[in-house]
Structure 1
Amino acid sequence: MAQKPSIPKGTRDFSPMEVSKRNYIFSIIKRNFEQYGYQPIETPSFENSETLMGKYGEEGDRLIFKILNSGDYLDKVSTEELQEINYKKLTGKISEKALRYDLTVPFARYVVQHQHEIDFPFKRYQIQPVWRADRPQKGRFREFYQCDADVVGSTSLWQEVELVQLYDAVFSDLGLKGVTIKINNRKILSGIAEVIGAKDKLIDFTVALDKLDKIGEDGVKKEMVEKGISESAIEKVQPLFHFTGSIDEKIQKLSTLLATSAEGMKGVEELQFICDNLTKLGLRESVLDLDVTLARGLNYYTGAIFEVAPPKSVAMGSIGGGGRYDDLTGIFGLKDMSGVGISFGLDRIYLVLEELNLFPETVTTSTKALFINYGEKEAFYAMQAIQKLRLDAIKVELYPDAIKVGKQFAYADKRQIQYAVIVGETEMQEQKFGLKNLQTGEQTLLSFEELKEQLA
């Protein structure tokens, strides 16, 4: 017996209903992207390895899917190198391309490559899949979509203000209330590391601090010690473990803590501008929160850092994130091209909407009416009407085979089609159509114009 087919772990098939729901999310995100002035681009699903490697830190590099060279991929490898079993050296020779890990680095490559064709500041959005060799779990997949919006060529903090508004607009339009948009600043984290005497341990310090909500205060302190951060430094950072209050109160505490750090105070100033203006302008449904433990993307973020948490009633990781990168394009030779961007985690957003039952019933509505097939003459009569209805964007279809009527009605029920259109000898003679509401059982005889009006 043939083996049952399967798909790789961390990937999924999507049913028609799931695709309809995903497209609903896509449409709202895309509509808001364009309303805010972002233009669409697309980049290849795979890039040259040198474009991606070294841009996400050691852990990120480990999660990049490498693609074997086509043909004899061992052609460039000597017998000695095969026996040496140096996988890093070997990988570089047998794999020169990789699936994209995110959309930000390919975007930076795009900007550099097309810099003479772009009008700056350049606002782009991109909705495409990415791949990560991660351990699959709830809300975490190896293949998933990202929906990114970025601006390059401007250092204005009004871009950060607008991106928070964009997050709020999308989640409000999705009916998702109580979303928390967390904000921090890389300069603040650098300033904290400086004032506690752990500047050379910035990444180790911040990566540990970022885990506060997962492993708790004791766990963070333990990890910091293991990374070589002194007990005296950890003592100085103690206030951050219980950093509460309003945004204004938190900014005041940071001003006191970072008074001796020029870089740290610059970060405080930037946060103050963003938060003050967002407070004055107001948000529709989301909550803004200053989170000093937030430390995502430190390998390329240089200013504001964003992360979006779903409503507290849902046990789910972040559903979005982003930040300011002052010189991301510099890795490809284009210096001093500041940018800032955010990303929406489509798959997690889908799970949150599903759990909270926030998808409108109309999302999965496809065919409005099924024309029952009674035979060749009747089918032709039906197809004439179907052709006209489709020109008016009314979703109708003909059952392709003239099988038992009961089976055709059963098919319509399974597809959750609202109406059946009955066209027999009587209807054809009278130039009419029988319309049956499959939910109520009510049936009426209508002219074509009446039918169109009913189905519109």
Structure 2
Amino acid sequence: MSNIKPSLVKGTRDFSPQEMVKRNYIFDAIKTVFLKFGYAEIQTPTMENLSTLTGKYGDEGDKLIFKILNSGDYLSKANPELLAAGNSNALTSSISEKALRYDLTVPFARYVVMHQNDITLPFKRFQVQPVWRADRPQKGRYREFYQCDADVVGSDSLLNEAEFILIYQEALSDLGLKDFTIKLNNRKILTGIAEIIGKPELIIDMTVAIDKLDKIGLDGVSKELLERGFTEGDLEKLTPVILLQGTNEAKLDSLRKVLGSSEAGMKGIAEIETVFGYLAALQHPDTMHQPNVELDITLARGLNYYTGCIFEVKTNEATMGSIGGGGRYDDLTGMFGLKGLTGVGISFGADRIYDVLMELNLFPESAVAGTRVLISNFDDAAERYALPLLQQLRAAGIAAELYPAAAKLKKQMSYADAKNIPYVVLIGSEEMQEGLLTLKDMRTGQQEKLAIAEIITRVGR
């Protein structure tokens, strides 16, 4: 037998029971807000046909799709000439027909097209499932990670965009985050910028480059733009626009002056103003603070399918990339044959949110503990006595377990410590005779004798 040391694929992780409690705390908080805003849950398969995914994320995104080799002798159907040439990219379509999903939005668009006769428009759905990207792993970036998405299709109302901002505000606040920025832009504004510098055909090249401003700086963006076909004269026009400063209103005023000759650009500005108008009307002074929304012209999100408003959320309390993002994708379902169906959606980066909550120590005690009560087991008589008590605790909704075999007290206490169980019920001959059980608080070390009803009240708080 081969003695291979077990290991994980880079960019993937195991999750312990303690970690799963925390992860589910995040998922549950986000799902609660989704449901509150009228979204219903669906799920789609881990695998999609490669043709479903290819061409939806731009050239850079396509490179990050995990392809799955066909079953059996997959090389038998490969083109001999391409095989001999060793061109793996050209070979892909003949040896791989399936892929792991890259995100949840494109599979959702495919779902809508396939189920269009079964759904009611506008259709509001959310999904919480893993996705895979063949990216280089680093802090906050994994090859396998969960997304929490909400999308609505069949409605062109910008009220949806405003409500997505409120969803971000409420869910992240519920998770304990206090200082985060919801960045907002519009792809029509970016189209207008490309038009006024005379390079409308290079809109994708421009957006891919300026989206990297935070990572590579202005010099890096300028260099990349020059490599993509822009001139020094283009950069002179572009630089002041992407470096706009001031309030949202001041930025919009500046953009109106710059983009006055661009119909697309002015429409993008009008859409942003409409979203801000909805937000102002939706605020309730007694229940919610104004979301920290920032108009960011450099926000491009290099995905080809966005056509209107685009979002990105960043925390200012920890060093981390975006923890959420999304936008409007009016023509996405058209790629699958269903024309004229507009859509808009957002995604929460649950794994990054987890890392931020860990760094800031924001998980509450309820999201750390699993089992709340351990009942000791010293002999057969104590075990028989404990069984109905165990059921009483569970019937009261308290996570409880009985130590599975008679053992010394030290071993049972060590077990409780290792699992962070806050309470231990000790049952000896005296407890069985009196009907009063010894409850030990593992955090303080204090012990007291209580009836089972009193214990249920105490530990159920």
Which band: TM-score by shorter chain?
over 0.9
Q: What amino acid does structure 1 have at the position aligned with 2:305?
A: Y
The gaps in structure 1 that reach 5 residues or longer are none
Q: What is the 5 A alignment of 1:1-400?
A: 2-282=3-283, 284=289, 286-311=291-316, 313-400=317-404
Cα RMSD over matched residues? 1.5
Between 255-264 and 16-25, the greater mean CA deviation after superposition? 16-25
SS in 1 for 2:75: coil
Q: Which range is displaced more, 205-214 or 94-103? A: 205-214
CA deviations on 1:323-375 (whole Å, 9 max, x unpaired) are 00111100000000000000000111111111112111221112222111111
Separation in structure 1 between the aligned mates of residue 108 and residue 233 of structure 2, nearest angstrom: 42
> What is the identity, as a one-letter code, of the residue corresponding to 2:411?
K
User: What amino acid is aligned across from residue 121 of structure 1 in structure 2?
Assistant: P
Q: Is the 8 A contact 1:306 1:342 kept in 2?
A: yes
What SS does the corresponding residue of 1:342 show, helix, strand or coil?
A: strand
Deviation, 1:451, is 2.6
SS at match of 2:74: coil
How far is the alpha carbon of 1:79 from its aligned partner?
4.0
What is the alpha-carbon distance in structure 1 between the residues aligned to residue 446 and residue 361 of structure 2?
Answer: 30
What is the aligned length? 455
Q: 1:39-98: CA deviations, max 9, x gaps?
A: 000000010111111111111111100111112222312544421323233211111100
Farther-moved stretch of structure 1 (291-300 vs 187-196): 291-300
Unaligned runs of 5+ in 2: none
Cα distance change, pair 298–394 in 1 and its aligned pair in 2 (3 A): closer
Query: C-alpha distance in 2, partners of 1:321/1:157?
Result: 16
SS of corresponding position for 1:128: strand
1:405 is aligned to 2:409: yes
TM-score (norm 1): 0.96
- CA deviation vs aligned residue, 1:187-246 (integer Å, no higher than 9, x gap): 000011001111111111222222222222222222211111122222222322430111
2 CA distance for matches of 1:437 and 1:309? 40
2:458 is the alignment partner of 1:454: yes
Q: Distance in 1 between matches of 2:219 and 2:82?
A: 45
CA-to-aligned-CA distance 1:294-330 (integer Å, 9 cap, x gap): 111441000001111111x421111100000111100
CA contact (8 A) 1:295 1:305 kept: yes
- Stretch deviating more after TM superposition (386-395 or 127-136): 386-395
Task: Output the amino acid matched with 2:289.
Answer: R
Q: Distance in 2 between matches of 1:342 and 1:119?
A: 20
- Per the TM alignment, residue 450 of structure 1 is displaced from its structure 2 partner at its CA by 2.3
Q: Deviations over 1:237-273 (max 9, x none)?
A: 2322430111111111111111001111111100111
Which residue in 1 is equivalent to 2:426? 422
2:325 is paired with a residue of what secondary structure? strand
Instruction: Tell me the distance in 2 between the aligned counterparts of 1:43 and 1:249.
Output: 43
**Identity %, equivalent residues:** 57
Contact 2:58 2:302 in 1 (8 A): no
Per mean C-alpha deviation after superposition, the further-off stretch among 282-291 and 203-212 is 282-291
Distance 1:172 1:434 in 2: 40
Q: CA deviation at 1:389?
A: 1.5
- Asked whether the 8 Å contact 1:178–1:286 carries over to 2, the reply is no
Is 1:435 the counterpart of 2:436 in the alignment?
A: no
User: For residues 264 and 133 of structure 2, what CA distance do their matches in structure 1 show?
Assistant: 34
Q: Distance in 2 between matches of 1:219 and 1:85?
A: 34
